[in-house]
Amino acid sequence: MIRPSRTHIRFDWAAKKMLRDKANFGILEGFLSELLKDKIKINSILESESNKESDDDKYNRVDLLVQNSKNELIIIEIQNTRELDYLYRLLYITSKTISENIKVGEPYSAVVRIITISVLYFDLGQGNDYIYRGNTHFTGLHSNDLLQLSEGQKKFFLKENISQIFPEHYLIRISQFDENKISFNQDKFDEWIYFLKTSEIKDNFTAQGLDEARKKLTIMNMPSNEQRAYQHYLDKISTEASIAETLKFEAEEARRASEEAIRIAEETIRNGEETIRKEEKKQIAKTMLEKGYAIEEIALLTGLPSDFILSLRNN
């Protein structure tokens, strides 16, 4: 779970309340520039059905739809609560955004490129890294080569690669980031992830956008009513995290109880089968005794102890 900062506002709250303001575009531009390794200039924050704010959104979804200077659309989504079908939802909102931003009658070449950035505060899938990038390539089934754009297509589309046409996805798995071990000399974006995880900005951080965030995203600069709303938001997140943790614990307890019940049932069945087999052998031994077989022969054929067979004869 994220540790609430005593100084800086959490990024998800800032995205919901502050980063839509043009005066704060520099923070978002720095965040995007460090991640995408490109100089990102924001033209506007767009509104659509998928990113309208909803106070009763129980999942605390925060969606930003950004249009950059290249007319690409960047979806920034911050997800606090575990969703098993998150990747399907990502596919849906990407497709929906594409369809919302092409007019009837326009050629397909007018389709805008979509980049999605998911800041995830739960473990999505299996993997060791904390940032995953996904894009589209076409690989030959026989030659194993990558399909390339023709020279004419490059000039017409103003693209160098096919992957630049299709959506590109970034999954940032915050919980996989170890803020205690990572070296900030490796990648400046790690400083951003540190802030995303801890809501802290260290004095020596120099990643683009963080200096502006350091100045503007401070709790003390918030009006008292906004501070109360922010605290309510933190309390809500803590409550939801506690509920999720409780449900996980209860599910684990139910799983263990179910496994124990299965073990007891299987053991009962085994014991019952063993009792039946022993009774069958007992009857066979009695019959063989009546027919005059030697105790040693009966023991060899049935596997019963000689003293047990002897007791049968005496009874």
Extents of the domains making up the chain: 11-222, 223-315
Most confident of 77-81, 174-178, 220-224: 174-178
140-170 tens-digit pLDDT: 999 999 999 999 999 888 889 999 899 999 9
- Categorize the per-residue pLDDT at 223 as very low, low, confident or very high, splitting at 50, 70 and 90: low
Angle 30-25-228 from CA coordinates, rounded to 5°: 105
pLDDT of 33 reads 92
Query: CB-based burial of residue 74 (10 Å sphere; 0-12 exposed, 13-18 middle, 19+ buried)?
Result: buried
Please answer whether residues 115 and 32 qualify as being in contact, where contact means their C-beta atoms are separated by less than 8 angstroms.
no
Instruction: Lowest mean pLDDT of 9-13, 80-84, 137-141, 264-268, name the range.
Output: 80-84
pLDDT of 183 reads 65
What DSSP character marks residue 110? G
Question: Does pLDDT of 70 surpass 50?
Answer: yes
Mean pLDDT of 121-149: 91
Provide the β-strand partners of residue 119.
Answer: 78, 172
Q: What contacts 29, CB < 8 A, 6 or more positions away?
A: 40, 41, 42, 208, 209
Report percent pLDDT > 90 for the chain: 17
Which whole-number Å values give the CA distances from 180 to 23, 191, 195, 202, in the listed order?
33, 12, 13, 13
